[in-house]
A and B are shown apart, each in its own frame.
Chain A
Amino acid sequence: MLHGYLPAILTGLQTTLAVAAVSLAIACGFGLAGALAKLSENVVARGVADTYTTLIRGLPDLVLMLLVFYGGQIALNALIDRMGWDYIEVSPFAAGTATLGFIFGAYLTETFRGAILAVPRGQIEAAYAFGLRRIDVVRRIMVPQMVLHALPGFTNNWLVMVKATALVSIIGLDDMVHRASLASAATNLPFTFYAAIAAIYLAITTVSLLALKLLERRFSLGVRRSEL
C-alpha cells in the first residue's frame, strides 16, 4: 500500500502522536498553573498569567516555534558559556513539544479558569471548613468537578494542537508531514501522500470526538439534566 511507504508514514505517525501527547501534558501543567494564578489574590501572579495569555494569543504558533527553537539555542549557548558546561544541543523534539505545550497552555488557562469558576463556591468553602489543605482542595474537590466543564474546551484545544503538530516538520522533526514529503519526493506522487496523511489526521479528529462523547457521559453521571 502507498507504494511501500505505509510503514514509514506510520513511524511518522508515532512521532506526531508522541509530540502531541508530550505537548498536551506540558500544556495541562501550564494551563492549570495559569488558571490558578489568574484566580489567585496575588497581584504578581495575576499579572504574570495575564501577560502570558495576552502574549501567546497575539502570535502565530509558527513564529513562536521558530523563536524558541533558534532563539532558545542561542540563549542556552550563552548560559553554557557563562557556566562553563559542555555543549548542549536543543533537540527539535524538545523545542517542538516545549513550544506547543507553552502555546496551548495559554489557551488551556482560559478553559481551566472558566471550569474552575463553574465549580460552586460553597464546595470549596466546605472543603476548607473541613480543614483540607490547599493542595487537597485542588486535587480532591476542584479538579474532579471542573473536568466536566473543561471537557469541551479541552477537546477543542487538543484538536487544534494535533493539527499544529504538523508545524514541527518545519523545525526538522521527522513527523508524519516530513515522512510524506520524503515519500512524495521519491515517488513523484505528492498528492497521494499528503492526502493519505490528511486522512490520518481526520481519523485522529474523529476518534477524539468520539472519546469526548464517552468521557462526557462518564463525568456527567452525577448531573441531572432537565428533560424538555
Chain B
Amino acid sequence: MIDWALVARTLPEYWVGLRVSLLLLFVSCATAFLVSIPLAMARVSRHAWLSWPVWAFTYVVRGTPLLVQLFMVYFGLAQFEVVRESAAWPMLRSAWFCAWLTFAINSTAYTTEIFAGALKNTPNGELEAARSLGLSATQVYRRILWPGALRRALPQYGNEVVMMMHATAIASTVTLVELTRVARDVYYNYLAPVEAFGVVATFYFALTYAMVGAFKLVEKRYLRHLAPRETGPAAGRPT
C-alpha cells in the first residue's frame, strides 16, 4: 500500500528540510531565551512602568495565532513605504528573516512568562537570607534568583521548546522549505498523502521524543535535589 520506492527517493529532501527546521528552531529559541531574561526581570518588577508593558506584550502575543503574526510580518510589512525604502528591506523581504523574527517574538512572550513565574516562585527565605548577607541587587539575581528560577522553569521550558519545534511547521506557509514544506511539495508532485505526510509525521515524532528525552536528562542533572530518595525516611533506623 505504501510506495516505499517513493519514500526512499524523496528521503534526501527531508534531510535538507530537517536541517532548515532545526536551524530555525535553534536561532528562534536562542534569541527568545536571551531576550526573555531581562524581560522576565521587568515583568516581576515592583515598578508598574516596567512590568506593565511586558505584561501587555506577552498578553497580545500569546492571545493571537502564530500564523497571523507570521503573515503580519512577512506579507504585512511591505505595506509601509518607510519599510520598503529602508536599508533593511532586502533582509525584511526574506522568508528566513521573517520566520526567525516572528518565531523569536512569539517564543519570547511564552518564555518570559515561564521565567517570570519561576522567579516569583522563589522561596522568600532564600531572598531574605541573601539580603541579610548584604548581597547587592545584581548579586541576588545572579547568584540566588536565576540559578533557582531557571531550574524550576526547566520542565515548562522544555515543553515550550518542543511546542516551538512543532510550530516551525507553520513556516511552510511562507515559502521556507523546511520539513512540512518538503512533505507538501512531495504531496503536490506525486499526490501521495500517506508517503508525504506519514513520513514527515515520523520525523516530527522522533524529533519530539528525542527532545523530550534530552530535556529529561538535563532535568535529571539540574533537578537532582528534587528527585525521590531511594530510601525512605525510616531506612536509617536500627531494626
The chain A residues found within 8 Å of chain B, CB to CB, are: 55, 57-64, 66-67, 70-71, 73-74, 159, 163-167, 169-170, 177, 180-181, 184, 188-192, 194-195, 197-198, 201-202, 205-206
Contact = CB atoms under 8 A, between A and B. Distances in A.
| Central interface residue in A62, A67, A71, A192, by most chain B CB within 10 Å | A62
Interface stretch (B29-37, B67-75, B141-149): B67-75
Given A163-B64, A191-B77, A58 B205 contact: yes
Contacts, number: 116
Contacts of B170: 62, 167
A198 B75 contact: no
Contact of A188 (B79, B183, B197): B79
B204 A58 contact: yes
Interface in B27-63: 59-60, 62-63
B80 A191 contact: yes
Nearest to B200: A63
B76 A205 contact: no
Contacts of A57: 208
Contacts of A194: 68, 71-72, 75-76
- The listed residue with most B CB atoms (<10 A of its CB), out of A58, A60, A189, A201, is A60
B72 A198 contact: yes
Query: Which 4 pairs, one residue from A and one from B, show the smallest C-beta to C-beta distance?
Result: A191-B76, A70-B193, A205-B63, A60-B166
Given A58-B205, A189-B79, A190-B79, A66 B197 contact: yes
Contact of B197 (A70, A163, A197): A70
Given A191-B72, A191-B77, A205-B64, 11 more contacts: A67-B194, A70-B187, A71-B193, A71-B194, A163-B66, A166-B65, A192-B79, A195-B72, A195-B76, A198-B64, A201-B63
Nearest to B167: A60
Interface string B169-186: 110110000001001100
B67 to A, nearest CB: 4
A62 B63 contact: no
A190 B60 CA distance: 19
Interface residues of B, number: 40
A177 B67 contact: yes
A135 B144 CA distance: 52
24 contacts: A58-B208, A58-B209, A59-B204, A60-B168, A60-B180, A61-B169, A66-B180, A66-B183, A66-B184, A67-B197, A163-B66, A169-B67, A170-B173, A177-B65, A177-B71, A180-B71, A190-B72, A190-B78, A191-B72, A191-B77, A191-B79, A195-B76, A201-B64, A202-B59
Contacts of A55: 205
B193 to A, nearest CB: 4
A184 B235 CA distance: 70
B68 A202 contact: no
A97 B137 CA distance: 51
B201 interface: yes
A63 B197 contact: yes
Interface in B114-131: none
B173 A67 contact: no
Nearest to B66: A163
B172 A62 contact: yes
